[in-house]
Amino acid sequence: MRFVDSHCHLDRIDLEKEGMSFAAMMEKAKQNSVEHFLCVAISMDQFPEMVKKAQAYENVSFSCGVHPLHVDEDKQFTLDDLPKLASDDKVVAIGETGLDYYYSKDSIAAQQASFARHIEVGNELNKPIIVHTRDAREDTIAIMRENNAEKCRGVLHCFTESWEMAKQAMDQNFFISISGIVTFKNAVELQDVVRKMPLDRLLIETDSPYLAPVPFRGKQNQPAYVKHVAEFIAELKGVSLEKVAEQTTANFQDLFSHASV
């Protein structure tokens, strides 16, 4: 049995706090059957450092892009540099991009322009996009449609929205990625969405260092814990853990075909 952590920020985990080296964190993940990691960028300025931290590991792939809450922060690069940076063989996806109206309403216009540009680059390079979406259901789906996101495909990561939105995304060939939030007691609507979701559209993630699943809720998250997300989904859907592991890994390989899993 093997798992893929389809979304983590390996460069943002406070290892000192865990009293753990980077190698020990990766070993712990391995012992929990986590065999591949997609390390996700939140800005282009931080991208080179992020790659440096984990590039020695063959089982780590990377994305490149600008998180919606970090638009207009890059100093060293602009979005014009995205195609070049994202052309690197180790980069298997574009993002994370998307819209977050929950934390930032001031930057809506900049977020929308950046999101559209990421989809264009995804289509140019034939690499899928990683979409962060919060409190922006209609605009997210509309911008995906207008920019032909169904061509490069992608994933709505750390999904916490409605079944309606999940269906609209799946209609555009998108996958839905579930984080540790699903294990929270109050995540009743999300649990219902996961019950309905076809297994062949699902990915699993930790979004480390954020959103640790139960029983680690409130602590710093790490890739080893993706297994707890998978276990919870298996129970919700009444299927075996092996089935969830096998199908979500196959889904990852299907979507992120540039990754060597």
Q: Does 132 bind Zn ion (CB under 5 A)?
A: yes
Least distance (Å) from Zn ion to the CB of residue 158? 5
| First and final C-alpha spacing in the chain | 13
Which window, 48-56, 125-133, 195-203, 239-247, contacts Zn ion (CB under 5 A)? 125-133
Query: Does 157 appear as a known binding residue?
Result: yes
Tell the burial category of 218 from Cβ atoms under 10 Å away from its Cβ (0-12, 13-18, 19+).
exposed
118 among annotated binding-site residues: no
| 156: Cα separation from own chain's centroid | 7
Q: Which of residues 197-236 bind Zn ion (CB under 5 A)?
A: 207
Q: Please, what is the minimum distance in Å from the beta carbon of residue 132 to Zn ion?
A: 3
Nearer to Zn ion, 70 or 132 (CB): 132
Cα separation, 44 vs 68, in Å, equals: 12
Please identify the residue of the shown chain whose CB is closest to the bound Zn ion: 132
Site size toward Zn ion (CB under 5 A) is 2
Q: Tell me the window of 71-79, 132-140, 219-227, 234-242 that interacts with Zn ion (CB under 5 A).
A: 132-140
Burial 140-173 (b: 16+ CB within 10 A, else e): bbebbeebebbebbbbbbbbbbeeebbebbbeee
- Distance, CA of 259 to CA of 39 (rounded, Å): 12
Q: Annotated binding residue at 139?
A: no
Binding residues: 7, 9, 96, 132, 157, 207
Which residue ranges are tagged as binding site for a divalent metal cation?
7, 9, 96, 132, 157, 207
